[in-house]
Amino acid sequence: MITKKIFLFSILLIVMFSTTNLYSATYDLTGTWNYTLSGNWAQGDIGCNPGPAASGTCKITQTGDTFTFAFTSGVSCDPGEACTFSGAVTGNVYTCSTTDIVDSEGGSVTSTIVFTAGSATSGTGSGNSLYTHPTGEWSCSWGNTISLTKPSEQPQPGQYILTLIISGSGTVTLDPPGGIYNAGIQVQLTATPGLSESFNNWSGDLSGTDNPGSITMDSDKSVQLNFSGDSDDNGDDDDGGGGGGCFISVVNQ
């Protein structure tokens, strides 16, 4: 009788353990990653264009079955908050999203990234974004394929991360590349404006208008690139005002 009770109790523990961990994350992906965006597409109304292929670094912070995904270089986000996604993990499938107001008319972009971790150091998936005009008269959707690889080298004691925030449309080149640097390394940043844009200045831990600019990595640094361009947004829905939402590079660059 005692043996039978012990057996039944053991079965109960196994069932409880299996149920509790049914949706637990397979991996802990916390760390700095390299990403590549390709296969860009877009469909929708006026000014709805796909973004170009791009690559850069991102940071994943995972706690159990929840995580955040933040682009740290190579991506253009306007507003800057659109660079950070939050979501949940089911097994090895990661789903995260962000929603931001992107123009003066209240148009919003909702972006979602879904990727599957093939291991603790690789993953593939897709990113999709949808701009919706508050009147509901028009919208734009776009997306791409995302590939993720986690470099064997992660920030170690005496190494620092350079985080880039891009306001407007443009890209930045780092020399030396990478985004993780030994203490004392001087990094040169070269800003390249997007079409019909111009480079204004650096802000954050780097200031001024010199392009290229340089910064010494003696701590974690955050640098914002500020671009500006001509805009025909005069608040008139008939001329596509507020259409900038279709150019917000949240999951494409």
Do 55 and 148 lie in one domain? The reply is yes
CA gyration radius, the chain? 22
Domain count, the chain: 2
Instruction: Say how far apart CA 46 and CA 44 lie, in whole Å.
Output: 7
| Domain-ending residue, one of 130, 152, 174 | 152
Q: Is the pLDDT assigned to residue 232 strictly greater than 60?
A: no
Instruction: Say how far apart CA 234 and CA 103 lie, in whole Å.
Output: 11
Do 36 and 137 lie in one domain? The reply is yes
Note the pLDDT of residue 96.
Answer: 96
pLDDT tens-digit readout, 87-137: 999 999 999 999 888 778 888 889 999 999 988 888 999 999 898 888 878
Do 134 and 185 lie in one domain? The reply is no
- Domain range for 47: 31-152
Task: Kindly report the average pLDDT of the chain as a whole number.
Answer: 77
Query: Residue 177: how many CB atoms within 10 A of its CB?
Result: 11
Note the pLDDT of residue 153.
Answer: 66
Contact 142, 41 (CB under 8 A): yes
Measured distance between the N- and C-terminal CA atoms of the chain, rounded to whole angstroms:
67
Distances (CA, A) of 134 to 46, 105, 106, 243, 245: 15, 7, 6, 11, 11
Q: Is 4 helix (H, G, I), strand (E, B) or coil?
A: helix
Instruction: Say how far apart CA 89 and CA 24 lie, in whole Å.
Output: 7
Instruction: Say how far apart CA 116 and CA 147 lie, in whole Å.
Output: 10
Q: Is 187 helix (H, G, I), strand (E, B) or coil?
A: strand
Q: Is 27 helix (H, G, I), strand (E, B) or coil?
A: coil
- The amino acid at 49: N
Do 37 and 139 lie in one domain? The reply is yes
Instruction: Say how far apart CA 55 and CA 73 lie, in whole Å.
Output: 8
Note the pLDDT of residue 56.
Answer: 81
pLDDT tens-digit readout, 161-202: 887 777 777 778 888 887 788 999 999 999 888 777 899 999
Q: Please, how many CA atoms are within 13 Å of residue 235, restricted to the half-sphere of its CB? A: 1
- The CATH number of residue 43's host domain is 2.40.128
Do 90 and 201 lie in one domain? The reply is no
Instruction: Say how far apart CA 179 and CA 164 lie, in whole Å.
Output: 9
Note the pLDDT of residue 233.
Answer: 39
Note the pLDDT of residue 240.
Answer: 27
How do strand 108-119 and strand 93-101 relate by DSSP bridges?
Answer: antiparallel
Q: Is 77 exposed, middle or buried (0-12, 13-18, 19+ CB in 10 A)?
A: buried
Note the pLDDT of residue 253.
Answer: 30
Instruction: Say how far apart CA 182 and CA 174 lie, in whole Å.
Output: 15
pTM beyond cutoff 0.75: no
Do 63 and 125 lie in one domain? The reply is yes
Instruction: Say how far apart CA 241 and CA 19 lie, in whole Å.
Output: 52
